[in-house]
Amino acid sequence: MIFQCTIAKQATLSGIGLHSGRTINLVLRPADAGTGIIFHRSEGERSVSIEAVSANVVDTRLATVIGKSGLSVSTVEHLLAALTALGIDNLHIDIDGPEVPILDGSSAPFIKLLNDTGLKKHNRSRKFLAIRKSLFVIDGEKRVSIIPSRFFRVSFDIAFDHRCIGLQQRSVKVTPNEFNKNIAAARTFGFLHEVEFLRSQGLALGGSLDNAVVIDQDRVMNPEGLRFHDEFVRHKILDAIGDFSLVGYPILGHVKSYKGGHDINHQLVEKILDTPDAWKLVEFTDLDLEQAMRGMPAFAPEPAFSEA
């Protein structure tokens, strides 16, 4: 999609917070071109507007958390992944609690809400962050890199010493159809002993088999089983799509990750932003926009790029 986009009308959603156990309400409102994605977080009489950009990330231990002026919003990645996949650039998100509702642990409910609401195209082109030089971060066994590509692609490898997961690999070109079909429904997951520990620390109070895949010593505990045979790596891709949206622009690049997670994703996003000679912002020309408005094929913003 070469035009900026928002939603066609206001939409609302409520659900339980994974860690707080609170019922949290979201109101999604259309936003003008150039606004970006902004969370408007309220708590009692206090409120603060938090732009969904890397500079506002305050924690990445259990989820991606953005914050400002003492108020924060956790677990933003599932909603941000859905917005990225559908090409939504501008949105106001009113939220009255400390975390985005976990819903079923995936992006599928957000995709359904956004599709039901409909999208509105702005008459302004998008700016893409096109990777021109490879960058990488290594943190122990974890590795994540980004290399030039004409498209946004995420390739992920995970390795767990557990019979239900083991080694899983998947590569996805991020498009609305591919995301909706193969990534959106993949749920967050955790091990039973980790859930028990988190609850002892006053966390995961809203967690259940309704909103996460839980694994004990030798099996998946959810009675319905898995939605995909490799649901675990698909969810890791989902998380990465949400995390990398915090670069602030749609990306033209290929993310490759081995055992990655929120923390190392954030490290690479920060490295991208701190290395301006490794990328450039590209925008479609007036001719491209005119052809697109007439339904004609538009030129690629960087035709010299080859898909990686």
| Catalytic center residues | 262
Q: What angle do CA 114, 11, 241 make, to 5 degrees?
A: 40
Please give the Cα distance from 186 to 110 (Å, whole number): 13
> What does the chain come to in residues?
308
Q: Alpha helices, DSSP H only, in 142-250?
A: 176-182, 192-200, 231-244
Q: Does the CA dihedral 102-105-108-112 come out positive or negative? A: negative
Where is 67: in which H helix or E strand? strand 65-68
- Radius of gyration of the chain from its Cα atoms, rounded to whole angstroms: 19
Asked whether 90 and 118 are in contact (CB, 8 A), the reply is no
Residue with tokens 């708590």: 43
